[in-house]
Structure 1
């Protein structure tokens, strides 16, 4: 490989700190690897290099590349043997190695281990309950005031807020100093907030004036009389003058641009009015001081919580990675000899993905640096603020080093990933959008990419490789969601391009395959819909996303088995026992029909069931089992791995169970026994804690779909961008209790109602700008994944610049006409056919080669009274009843697949009896408003330890209808109970009124539940 001039600088330059700004596709990993090789060739051992990455996968990849570089070099054979033990690792791993090495200085054991964050979260939750209980008893006046002012139904909102504040404070190295009430409630601090607030008002007025100037220059009417109102100097004038700032009515025929500007002006005036809601500066001060008592209580609770957690971790020497990072920092800071040793141990400290460094990591590096830190990253790709990454660290250092203050900077601008058109298109977009104050870099001056891979130009096909925006604004239809429209457009387009569009691969052009196409979206909410539509078009689609372990069906069933064993152990055959038993009986492990399950409870002979027997056997030996052994016994006894094939990926089940095994070991080391472990798993599920895991689907030969964060570091030939209309999530800004590094503790005040102080306004303003910057960088990451062709699919109204509330709105800020392809409804007829079934000959499903022997069946019984349970008799199934059941099953199957809004029964070649029953149901009153409904069929759910499948759900704007089909009998009390359970589940899920019905397929009648 021939290196560019700047790549050679990045490989060879020595003698000072270096920051390498490596743009997308610039070969930064190859450069980093080559720099390591050069050092090894110069006699520097791999053990004298500290190479820090942000993921274990990145560390493994780096080791693999270095090994490949040196394994053919005989003179470096010794280094080859040192690679596995070398410090090529994550920050967390390096910090842990230091803490273990010098454990005696930290008063921890050498075998200190890492505890799962979820264990700590649940411990915090339990302890905060205890602290609140004590405070309720003490009746502390500030605590009582806090509760009475902000709690309506319960105190959960305050508890969650305190945990959030504690977690934010815990990210600080000076946490103990920050839990000091006087730090926030002194005249200097309050005056600084007011000064920033007045500056914010001044900025808002300046922005308003700019809009005014644009309008005044276009408007024929003289509105110069408004100018005097912009000359505000203090809060009183800001408050008074804004009421006079109003643009008169525009004349008929005004341009769209002028209308848009007036709309912006009005919005900005409203923003200012919201900011000047206080009477005067004195009121502003008073509202802040009113929160002092609340802060005092919260800090008191946090101190108690911190003491408890420290003791909990210390007891078993189990700490979080954050704890270990802070230990390592204080270890080095407080011990001169260790600091000196580390400073002189490493020839160089290399940091990959430096733009994602956290404050703690940066402070740690400062302690061991010796003018030998080599930092590689790209601020334009900093998208992990939610993981505490601080892009300002990279930005500030780049600015300093650019002036040769403290080090030097090198720019790697050549992009070897993408073809020329892709790079030019991206440069065009971000030249306009990305600035120093939005995105963190002046893209036009310091961020532009240079086309580097000239191989694309050899024998280049006559194809359009430029960006295209498929604008479907004229296809919008209330009958279709945007996600449906986008999926249909993309599926059709891929069908057209596969085997016709040419892509560059291994030195030559070939026809595109499905695996060359990737869809990137802002979030994964609509991925199942894409999957369904792509199946209709017969396009293989692989969803690449993190799974949430506690949402998985098999884990919930496993948890229920654990709980059932303990119920049996304690002899608690209560209502919860019934829930658990029923859930397991209905699950993929047994698939027992409801009639049989009910029989167990009616006859009270569930102890004869296979479920009870297995659980009872485990309950006998429960006290002898470790947490891991308990899990292993359940998995083995219930054949979970063997039966997992019925619910999807066996690999997924095994990965999830392995996670639980490791969790079991970790909890054992913290003194959790089997009952504690079982309760812990249950609490994880109940609290919906997001334990995420991934399955490797990288080898899939189909189209891939993933969110943008998941695509980081990857590259794809042809990229579609969907879901760009999804609004940004600002839910965190609605929180009332906040801690922020810049503004400190942010609390509401109470004065005949809840109000927000100016500190919250300042915080919101800062957070929104930082979030928009990260969203823009996210958009940059998305586009720079593409090698050959970018296609954006959205409904773009290019008549006005919109306030940026979603990724699509970035496009409204720039001229896009040269990329835009306005889709014509005549050419793009939308369809709901993906919801329909194809022609089915039901006889094809019946293949009888020998007589069927039917055992005596007992079913369709009805409980007469509680007194007659033990005397109940059941009749043998008659021929007519059996025929009814077979007929009912066939009806049920057709309804499962039929498009209920657009049914075409003639296509199904149904017999007259089947046709009549289906038609009767379609014409029933239950479905009279179905065209206004969202339809869900065969909806599987797990609720209150029950697992079931709801036949039909019709969701309307303000209510929901649930319908359960029965073959004939709909008078059974058990059926009513079942549907009542469905209603409760749906009311909880939707917040809407739910109406339940039982429908008899044979009798063509319904019952209200």
Structure 2
């Protein structure tokens, strides 16, 4: 069936030889028009155009794919009608290579064809967001480290200004924020350089700043609004029963406003606002005056006073001279911050070039570099751009309202407008520009909207106003609200006859319906003491309404075009943001028996199965992380209960505070054998996987975890198992993608995922929903853009707007630069600057305009019925607003700018708009909703009981499944056949090997995976009551001797008794300077140090120190065949051994390795039994590292005050 186009649509299809801006209202059929225009151009009988000579730029990959498919179908239909048309057949061949694409794909196309012009390696790779964020963090950390090392005063002062007292993260946030913002400018380095002097102002040139004009315009707008309000009050006073006694005061107030409005400079505004005063209103009593009108007039006057006092307090609290001086004090910090950002930008570019990577920003800027040349007098096209100008017959841009400046320059450079060839076709709707967070510039659309003429000419504007999506009831509601709310001052466009929606579709009407079942409905729930949160109460109201809609509301069937009863799949619930709302709604609706699916979910990282696997990987990287370890132990993969973990912590309390320490200790010392076995099994698995880490890719590591634990089968059997399985499979996919990045290894994968989560690059839970499923969908308004649904609930209307950006320390504006707070770094006094106040107000107004457009998008999604819901706390206030619509209306039928600009939620706009247009509003109480839901629940419970009975009867017929389950359990619980290899580590420590060599020796516990015990921080009251442990005492002596300059005290043949006082004095000095902690100082006995200094070992160490031959705390990693550690281990396996040698010294005939021990022993042989293996490995490591022979191995015992010299086979002798 042929499509009949409206005159405006046909004009859009037929227009040639002009650049055209199509302002296409919601549901106006712009995609169909664009497709038809393309088909007409390629099939034109006189001047046909090949499809690959049209550039069609869309906003998303999905839109590009849909556009290509629709063009292909239309071409195929033409070919069917004209099978002998060679030109059309050719187009079907060319369509596959036609540039119907997104802007980033087009940029990539340019770069791949012109890489040599920008000296780019053609083998580049496009990095994903996670990799780029990781790279940015690394580059930024290195840059700041370089600056701190250099120690420049301007940098250190900048750090103190933006990130005082060690809060460097704040400075990092400012740099990253400025970088992201600057990258939306065509030449980011130029923008950063341009605004370095933003705060270098003087009292003389402050008036010349562009942003001062912005302030003056805003103040005059507010003064005009205030004057209108006073006129309304005066009209009230002049009525027969009006408060006439207020007229003189109101007249004086009007004169004050006129005097303020007449100020023609910032200085005059300051002078007049600084002496602002108001007269007292008359208290005369007259019974003929209406009390309501008297009160109303007073309210209006008080609101005007509050407005003017607010302007004075926010903008005119100090003179322009004082404001300029305050700004000038900030100038060095502004310049330094922007210089740091530019340096970061260049360093990041260099690093990406080294790695041959690029991101979305790079695509745009490199393409722009290929196509344009920036000169002092303007921007000129390059030879590549001119070549493309000649090639492309037309540049078609969809969703033009969401373009940014870079994209504008890019596409303008290849259009022929500068050469008289007007060939840009731009289509969009500024009322649907909702991507401010992506730095879209709706101003670009509005510039052409204002300048392009509606008639003939080289630059034409065509308005598509008819809506073919929605019933008249929907369009009437949208028009009624937005004619009152949206204007050029807020929203960016006048909602006039040109912007309004006009119904264009014909819908079948149900028979026998007395009331209008498609009328727009508003439901507001009232807060009360019913035990419900506002969101739950609102969800209950929606659930009740859905139950009444499903099966009763007639909707048009897509296939037949006939009416049918609505199902769950016809309904969508739209939310401004799904975070914190979607799960509440889902829970309430499902409890009401309504199937729900959240399509715009952001909870991937919160999913239990994803958390469990990531926690396991974190434990593999570092098992001493208590929270990830607790998460893994509690998961179905490990099977520990809260009681198990509490038991291990309680019994092993003396072994250490770390959960991992308690776990490993419990394997040998625990009282419950079953729990011991469970702990041993987990530790064994952990060790096995720590070996895997060395050679196994991340995705294989995860697969192995799933295989050995059966975790994938476990979660698949849980409620929502299909979703859980899909989430795990998505994680595997992300791991495979990570392995294609420039990073590798477990540590970097964990960082990668943390960055992805930190920057909200949330993948959303894996989508398993069939789009045709009969399920109510919950999604964000942004997700719904471009879509349509039979029935729409726009919910959460009372949610407060997010205006956090307006109060950030640094505010950025593409046109006006940056603004920040004033900070006195000496006194830490902080305050606003005038520019910060001005740009903060502008940002708030811009954000409100964006919110208004988001609301427009939401309300234009439904085809059949629109339902708006919210919650209110003050029922009386709501009723008062709804009953007094005339109080909010201004000239032209629009709500005043002041109430619109002060809104904090959608409801603040909609309540007065509903009052003005007469929309019926239903107020619902929580108790009524609960009663209705309880009655429904009773019916559902009866059905559930019947279902349980049926399931019980059916299960009796399936006893054979029990046997299958038993066999499966036997297989899952089978013992690993190579248990003897469980201790074959990829990496271990000398301490672990030493323990393995002295199984029967009694010693204090050493912890796995660390060589030295770090003494944890303890509160003072605990330290004073707790005796120093042996491990802490040993660490204290090691630290003291590591930093002790004993060569100053040691004589040729030992130290004298007087040296004890020198030792104590030196220890105290170390403590005062912070080199030795007070806890360690308390644990060190000066007498024992002095006796050590009398030893032969100390004298040899002093001599070696003088010759620079003394080495302390030497770390090492040693690789050995596994069979050297255990004959049962494979010969071909290599084990890495790590450790730290306390001290070794170089002598002419060999090396001497030594170790200090504080163990409480009575015989030297005890130390030999304990530490022979340890020092043997130290010696072996030294010989491999230095290539020299170790001639002696010595232990100095502080308990025995003796040297113990170890022999090759464990023998010893005393010196």
- What TM-score, normalized by structure 2, do the two folds share? 0.65
RMSD: 3.6
Of 714, 718, 721, the residue aligned with 1:643 is 714
User: Residues 725 and 248 from structure 1, CA distance in 2 versus in 1: closer, same or farther, beyond 3 angstroms?
Assistant: farther
1:119 aligns to 2:191 (yes or no): no
CA distance in 2, matches of 1:829, 1:561: 44
Q: Deviations over 1:230-275 (max 9, x none)?
A: 2032134333243437767898823475465345324313421322
- 1:211 aligns with 229
Of 534, 537, 543, the residue aligned with 1:482 is 534
Of 76, 89, 96, the residue aligned with 1:71 is 76
Counterpart mapping for 1:306-455 below 5 A: 306-334=345-373, 336-370=382-416, 371-402=422-453, 406-455=458-507
Of 618, 622, 644, the residue aligned with 1:563 is 618
Deviation at 1:786, TM superposition (A): 1.2
Deviation at 1:330, TM superposition (A): 1.0
- 1:191 aligns with 208
Report how many residues are paired. 852
CA distance in 2, matches of 1:789, 1:685: 37
- 2:292 aligns with 254
User: Residues 521 and 337 from structure 1, CA distance in 2 versus in 1: closer, same or farther, beyond 3 angstroms?
Assistant: same
Deviation at 1:612, TM superposition (A): 4.1
User: Residues 761 and 227 from structure 1, CA distance in 2 versus in 1: closer, same or farther, beyond 3 angstroms?
Assistant: same
- Secondary structure at the aligned position of 2:551 is classed as coil
User: Residues 632 and 318 from structure 1, CA distance in 2 versus in 1: closer, same or farther, beyond 3 angstroms?
Assistant: farther
Conserved in 2, the CA contact under 8 Å of 1:422 and 1:465? no
- Secondary structure at the aligned position of 2:12 is classed as helix
Shifted more, 841-850 versus 308-317: the winner is 841-850
Deviation at 1:149, TM superposition (A): 4.4
CA distance in 2, matches of 1:693, 1:399: 43
CA distance in 2, matches of 1:624, 1:694: 29
Conserved in 2, the CA contact under 8 Å of 1:551 and 1:685? no
Structure 1 alignment gaps of length 5 or more: 568-572, 856-866, 871-1009
Counterpart mapping for 1:41-80 below 5 A: 41-42=43-44, 43-72=48-77, 73=79, 74=83, 75=85, 76-80=88-92
Q: Deviations over 1:177-218 (max 9, x none)?
A: 233333652555763244443444343333322222222332
Counterpart mapping for 1:604-753 below 5 A: 604=667, 609-645=680-716, 646=718, 648=720, 650-651=722-723, 653-654=725-726, 657-658=729-730, 661-662=733-734, 664-666=736-738, 668-685=740-757, 690-692=762-764, 695=767, 697=769, 698-751=771-824, 753=829
Deviation at 1:289, TM superposition (A): 0.6
- Secondary structure at the aligned position of 1:507 is classed as coil
CA distance in 2, matches of 1:481, 1:641: 36
Conserved in 1, the CA contact under 8 Å of 2:467 and 2:501? yes
CA distance in 1, matches of 2:925, 2:745: 64
- Secondary structure at the aligned position of 1:828 is classed as helix
1:584 aligns to 2:632 (yes or no): yes
Of 328, 341, 344, the residue aligned with 1:305 is 344
CA distance in 1, matches of 2:765, 2:425: 32
CA distance in 2, matches of 1:686, 1:522: 21
CA distance in 2, matches of 1:323, 1:657: 31
1:273 aligns to 2:321 (yes or no): no
Conserved in 2, the CA contact under 8 Å of 1:421 and 1:465? no
CA distance in 2, matches of 1:781, 1:764: 26
Q: Deviations over 1:4-24 (max 9, x none)?
A: 111112222211111111111
Conserved in 1, the CA contact under 8 Å of 2:131 and 2:741? no
- Secondary structure at the aligned position of 2:256 is classed as helix
Greater RCO, CA 8 A, separation 6+: 1
- 2:544 aligns with 492
Of 913, 918, 921, the residue aligned with 1:818 is 918
User: Residues 604 and 164 from structure 1, CA distance in 2 versus in 1: closer, same or farther, beyond 3 angstroms?
Assistant: same
CA distance in 1, matches of 2:530, 2:272: 44
Shifted more, 519-528 versus 382-391: the winner is 519-528
Shifted more, 733-742 versus 683-692: the winner is 683-692
- 1:911 aligns with none
CA distance in 2, matches of 1:601, 1:755: 55
User: Residues 339 and 868 from structure 1, CA distance in 2 versus in 1: closer, same or farther, beyond 3 angstroms?
Assistant: closer
1:158 aligns to 2:158 (yes or no): no
Conserved in 1, the CA contact under 8 Å of 2:793 and 2:869? yes
CA distance in 1, matches of 2:355, 2:98: 29
Deviation at 1:342, TM superposition (A): 0.8
1:174 aligns to 2:187 (yes or no): yes
Conserved in 2, the CA contact under 8 Å of 1:433 and 1:810? yes
Deviation at 1:426, TM superposition (A): 1.9
CA distance in 2, matches of 1:676, 1:581: 19
- 2:142 aligns with 130
- 2:22 aligns with 20
- 2:95 aligns with 83
Counterpart mapping for 1:833-844 below 5 A: none
Counterpart mapping for 1:31-50 below 5 A: 31-42=33-44, 43-50=48-55
Structure 2 alignment gaps of length 5 or more: 238-242, 374-380, 417-421, 649-662, 669-676, 873-877, 889-898, 971-1001, 1006-1215
Conserved in 2, the CA contact under 8 Å of 1:491 and 1:534? yes
Deviation at 1:732, TM superposition (A): 0.7
Conserved in 2, the CA contact under 8 Å of 1:425 and 1:466? no
CA distance in 2, matches of 1:248, 1:385: 49
- 1:526 aligns with 581
Deviation at 1:868, TM superposition (A): 14
- 1:550 aligns with 605
Counterpart mapping for 1:894-909 below 5 A: none
Deviation at 1:393, TM superposition (A): 1.0
Q: Deviations over 1:457-477 (max 9, x none)?
A: 596954414544435466755
User: Residues 105 and 433 from structure 1, CA distance in 2 versus in 1: closer, same or farther, beyond 3 angstroms?
Assistant: same
User: Residues 743 and 395 from structure 1, CA distance in 2 versus in 1: closer, same or farther, beyond 3 angstroms?
Assistant: same
Shifted more, 17-26 versus 73-82: the winner is 73-82
Deviation at 1:427, TM superposition (A): 1.9
Deviation at 1:456, TM superposition (A): 3.3
- 2:1060 aligns with none
User: Residues 824 and 40 from structure 1, CA distance in 2 versus in 1: closer, same or farther, beyond 3 angstroms?
Assistant: closer
- 2:106 aligns with 94
- Secondary structure at the aligned position of 1:161 is classed as helix
User: Residues 720 and 285 from structure 1, CA distance in 2 versus in 1: closer, same or farther, beyond 3 angstroms?
Assistant: same
Shifted more, 438-447 versus 16-25: the winner is 438-447
Conserved in 1, the CA contact under 8 Å of 2:490 and 2:849? yes
User: Residues 336 and 162 from structure 1, CA distance in 2 versus in 1: closer, same or farther, beyond 3 angstroms?
Assistant: closer
- Secondary structure at the aligned position of 1:563 is classed as helix
User: Residues 409 and 491 from structure 1, CA distance in 2 versus in 1: closer, same or farther, beyond 3 angstroms?
Assistant: same
- 2:1094 aligns with none
1:603 aligns to 2:689 (yes or no): no
- 2:219 aligns with 201
Q: Deviations over 1:651-677 (max 9, x none)?
A: 565466446645654554424344323
- What TM-score, normalized by structure 1, do the two folds share? 0.77
